Amino acid sequence: MSKLKNKPNKSERGQSLVELAVTLPVLILLLLGTVDFGMAIFSYSILRDAAQEGAFYGSFNPTNKAEIENRARNISPRKEGDIFSSPVNLRDESLITVTVKTTGAPCQGITHGIANTMNVSVSYKYPILMPFVGQLMGDNTILLTGKATNIILQPACP
């Protein structure tokens, strides 16, 4: 009856440590990339909601562009000092751009066969957290833009 050896050969000693050293950085980069991608999707979702709120308000008040932008910037349920898990601060005008545009007349109806609409877009330069990706792309940010369009419901065209 032969005995099985439980001890590794001298040439296999440290093999597990080398495998860990090789695979751990790859696994960490994959994890960081997944987190970064998830935060970018969450940021886009917030931008889309802000644009939707602005377009909704604009469908009833299409000429009040300052209030449309205000509504888009203030969808976050927080005060200045509160902690909120949003990666995007919509109130920061240096990071967030809100564009309001009316297609057709600023009233309910049709202009040249196309319904009069309110278009709102909210843009943000999302900072990439993954190392080396910014160097490969040439920029450490990705431009995210949430857009929404609503048909103008009020006032009625004369």
Percentage of the chain beyond pLDDT 90 is 51
Q: What is the overall mean pLDDT for the chain?
A: 87
The pLDDT of residue 56 = 96
Please say if the pLDDT value at position 96 is more than 70: yes
Per-residue model confidence as pLDDT tens digits over 23-81:
999 999 889 889 889 999 999 999 999 999 999 999 999 999 999 999 999 987 666 66
Per-residue model confidence as pLDDT tens digits over 1-22:
556 666 666 666 788 888 889 9
Residues in contact with 103: Cβ distance below 8 Å, sequence separation at least 6, in sequence order: 114, 116, 117, 118, 119
The pLDDT of residue 158 = 79
Mean pLDDT of 124-142: 82
Residues in contact with 77: Cβ distance below 8 Å, sequence separation at least 6, in sequence order: 84
What's the angle, vertex CA 129, arms to CA 25 and CA 50, rounded to 5? 145
Per-residue model confidence as pLDDT tens digits over 139-154:
888 999 999 999 999 8
Identify whether the C-beta of residue 53 lies closer than 8 Å to the C-beta of residue 77: no
